[in-house]
Structure 1
Amino acid sequence: MRISSVTMYEQSTASINRQQNDFLKISQQIASGRRVVNPSDDPQSAARAVRVDQSKAITQQFEDSRVSARNSLAQTESILNSISDSVISAKTRLVQASSDTLSDVDRESIASELKGIYETMIGQANATDGNGRYLFGGYADNAPPFVKNSEGNIEYKGDDNARQQRIDASRLMPVTENGISIFQSVPSGAGYVAEAVKSSDGGQPIAGVLGRNGGSITFSGPQVSNVNDPGYGDSYRVVFNEDTTVDSGVSYQVQRFSEGEWQEDPDDLVVTGEYVGEGQQLSFGGVNVTLTGSAEPDDEILVAQSGSEQRPADLFRTMEAAIRVLENPATTGAEKAELRNTLNTSMRDLDNALDNVLTVRASAGAKLNELDVVDAVGSNRMLNYEQTLSDLVDLDYADAISEYSLRQVGLQASQKAFVDIKGMSLFDFM
């Protein structure tokens, strides 16, 4: 078969072009460090690499989210630490104020110190993060969550949610706490608190204030005697009444809160009897309360679990009651009883508040530890993605350099062969 010169030229040119293309391809791979420079180089690996890249991007977003969550939790934990210090400081001053050796001026001085602690607590409750959002208002984070009303009492204006942030594909973590969980809650194990209240006028109970006649009765406790008592966990109130049938002239009745109201019917009373005072102990619902002093008709003592509907927890209310009673002189028996009762109740409330703050702080610390664990898992996942991506598209330089040398030799051989073929002619043999 006769092969024309044109055919030889075309085949030689095509061979050189192929060798140049292969040589250029391996050159690009070496220059970029990637085996798959274009999707056409390895369509399957290129498609898998796109998915791995997307997974890496999502993992990086979660990592950035964890940084933000850690900042919020660290700030929350720091503020909770400051709040716990304030509660301890307030409790220390109430213990000091309980001393009978202090004068009214001394107690007023302590009240002034408590006011400073009280204002510090309000500032901590209205703390903001680095973006100007209020930490403890839930999702209502654009305004202070705790504000004073027209009567000078603190009210919560936030919601009962905790802001959440997704730190991983399967984990949505609360990164702040709402004000209710910190300042208006108690631990689940909080026990009973006794409080002398004023309820004969139908208004809200006022801590430490007895009924209209203002007896000088004081209480200690309550002490838990039997948690298995069927009535343990219910709310009770001890009401004193004028009773001419008893020697002391005063009787008491213990009423239980049930079905949304106080059970005042004689058949539903828990305990009744004559009040004789001087260390008289009343037992009901698995708790004991010791009473001392004289009681007057309509005097009333509430005994309920802290955080219940009848005895809601409120750290600011506790501070306000303590400040109020310390600012007033205590000269009469009724005023001294009010002072003693209010301080006893306030100290118990502060103990519960401290336990609650420490519980919330421990929760924040646990979440910070969880972030460390999730960070470690995310780092390992990122390393796996990078390794997978490297296996899919990265270049093996040893193989690439060998291939580069081979393609270079092939290209040179093609060029040399073309030169030799081009110089061949039948006239050289004639």
Structure 2
Amino acid sequence: MRLSTNMIFDQQVRGVTDAQSTWLKAGAQLSTGRRVTNPSDDPIAASRAVVLSQTQARDSQFALARSFANQGLSLEESTLGDVTTAIQAAQSALVSAGNGSLSDDDRSSYATQLEGIRSQLLNLANSKDGNGRYLFAGYESDKAPFTQDATTGAVTYNGGSDPITQKVDSERTMTVGHTGDAIFNKLTSNAKPEPNGGASQTNLFDMLDSAIAALKVPQTDADDATKQTFSAAMDKANRGFSNSLNNVLAVRSEIGTQLKELDTLDAKGDDRTVTLKDQMSTLVNVDYTQAISTYTMQQQLLQASYTTFSDMSKMSLFQMNK
């Protein structure tokens, strides 16, 4: 096979170009710290990196969801702590008001105290979060869940019927916003029953209204029937407050369990993040020891290519015939 000067020249140019390309690629890996920048660098590693990247993005979204869930549940727990304190204050006032030696004025004073507690509880039931959304309204958080009738004074729940749920991990969805109906209008399964078998009061505000109304009825010089009615009303209110308190505590217990679970999920998420980061690093990041060695070797090869090209470029058939 006959080799012309042009063929020899072209081969040497390609050799120099290839050596320079490999050297520049090694330099780029050192400067960026990444072994795989384009899919062509390592198709298998690149495809696996895409999957890992999607998993990392998904886990990041779950971590953000858990952060929001933690904030919401913590605010609920704090608010229900105040609700618990208010109900316990109402219980204490009711026990004191049941003392038979009190005057009508004394009982009226306790009624006023319960009215203050009722207003406090109504305010807590209509609490808002930092974004102005009502805590206990379910998905209808743009309006007050509890409203008071201007004529009768009765408090009713008008919020959403479904609690707010949030997916906090790939296989876990939890309640992050309880409805006011489940907190202020419900009783636990082990609630104290009425002695006569009648229906127990479930609405905390109705319980307070009944107790307040009973305390405003004069008992001094009252007949036995009136006194018996008063005593029965006090007993019923005591049972109602006890049942309502147990229900609030049950919700708080659920929230406490959820907050603990969120901490556990966060810890697992952090561990998974570290693992995925290590896997991603193994796939696409450069091994600096190997990269430096490759860079140095390619630099020497490039220099050798330059030298060879320089020597070969001086050769021609005319020079060989001299």
Once the two structures are superposed, residues 354-401 of structure 1 have per-residue CA deviations (whole angstroms, 9 ceiling, x without a partner) of 111111101000000010111112112222221221111111010000
Matches within 5 A, 1:343-382: 343-382=234-273
Percent sequence identity is 37
2:218 matched to which residue of 1? 329
1:133 matched to which residue of 2? 133
Matches within 5 A, 1:64-103: 64-103=64-103
1:409 matched to which residue of 2? 300
- Bigger Rg over Cα: 1
The offset of 1:423, in angstroms, is 2.9
TM-score w.r.t. structure 2 length? 0.95
Once the two structures are superposed, residues 62-114 of structure 1 have per-residue CA deviations (whole angstroms, 9 ceiling, x without a partner) of 11011110011001101111101001000001111011121111111111111
CA distance in 1, matches of 2:116, 2:127: 17
2:36 matched to which residue of 1? 36
Counting matched residue pairs gives 318
For 2:123, the aligned partner's letter is G
CA distance in 1, matches of 2:127, 2:286: 53
Matches within 5 A, 1:288-299: none
Question: Contact 2:210/2:237 (CA < 8 Å) preserved in 1?
Answer: yes
The offset of 1:402, in angstroms, is 0.2
Gaps spanning 5+ residues in structure 1: where?
A: 195-301, 305-309
Q: Secondary structure at the match of 2:286?
A: coil
The offset of 1:341, in angstroms, is 1.2
Question: Contact 2:200/2:240 (CA < 8 Å) preserved in 1?
Answer: no
CA distance in 1, matches of 2:105, 2:319: 133
CA distance in 1, matches of 2:72, 2:106: 41
- Structure number with the bigger relative contact order (C-alpha 8 A, sep ≥ 6) is 2
Q: Secondary structure at the match of 2:166?
A: strand
Question: Contact 2:26/2:295 (CA < 8 Å) preserved in 1?
Answer: yes
Give 1 or 2: higher helix fraction: 2
1:210 matched to which residue of 2? none
CA distance in 2, matches of 1:191, 1:95: 17
2:57 matched to which residue of 1? 57
The offset of 1:160, in angstroms, is 2.7
2:106 matched to which residue of 1? 106
The offset of 1:312, in angstroms, is 4.0
Matches within 5 A, 1:136-155: 136-149=136-149, 150-155=151-156
Q: Pick one of 174, 178, 203 that aligns with 1:314.
A: 203
Question: Contact 1:28/1:37 (CA < 8 Å) preserved in 2?
Answer: no
2:277 matched to which residue of 1? 386
CA distance in 2, matches of 1:92, 1:337: 21
2:197 matched to which residue of 1? 303
Gaps spanning 5+ residues in structure 2: where?
A: none
Question: Contact 1:26/1:404 (CA < 8 Å) preserved in 2?
Answer: yes
CA distance in 2, matches of 1:35, 1:105: 86
Question: Contact 1:49/1:389 (CA < 8 Å) preserved in 2?
Answer: yes
Question: Contact 2:187/2:202 (CA < 8 Å) preserved in 1?
Answer: yes
